[in-house]
Amino acid sequence: MDLNLLRRVARERVKVDLVATEIGIYRKELDAEIKFNMSGVKECINQPFDPYPDKILLLIEGLEDALRGARYVGFTSHQNHPKQHVIGYHFFETEIGGKTAYFNIQFTVQNRYFLYSITESIRWETLE
């Protein structure tokens, strides 16, 4: 399996199908739609994950359904790398390749939500 090809396909798929069309996934916990942008897609692709190919395949096929069905975990305003436009992050738990994974949803000062990353763990000990 050529991981470079998979990454390119994932990036292009999300760009064309979700970013360019401004698709959003409504979550009642947020009373808002989660949107997609290319910086979040790149972060999703670059974050380590085992099994990594399964995460990339999810971006290609199944991302929307996985985000719709993920279990809400909580919110934190803690940021390891503070960004002025970010208030904090909401987390949703899912499963990828038989392993627990988390969608990290960025909440911005513009009151918007974006998929920021997919990780193996929540890095902050305390959720608010």
Interval 28-68: pLDDT, tens = 999 999 999 999 999 999 999 999 999 999 999 999 999 99
Identify the sign of the CA torsion 82, 17, 34, 61: negative
What is the dihedral angle through the alpha carbons of 45, 47, 51, 53, rounded to the nearest 10 degrees? 10
pLDDT higher than 60, residue 107: yes
Q: What DSSP string runs through 79-120?
A: -SS--TTEEEEEEEEEEETTEEEEEEEEEETTS-EEEEEEES
Q: Where are the domains of the chain?
A: 3-119
Read off the pLDDT of residues 61-72 as tens digits, 9 standing for 90 and up: 999 999 999 999
Q: What pLDDT does 83 receive?
A: 81
CA 84/CA 80 separation, integer angstroms: 12
According to DSSP, residue 70 is labeled: P
Q: What pLDDT does 127 receive?
A: 56
pLDDT higher than 70, residue 125: no
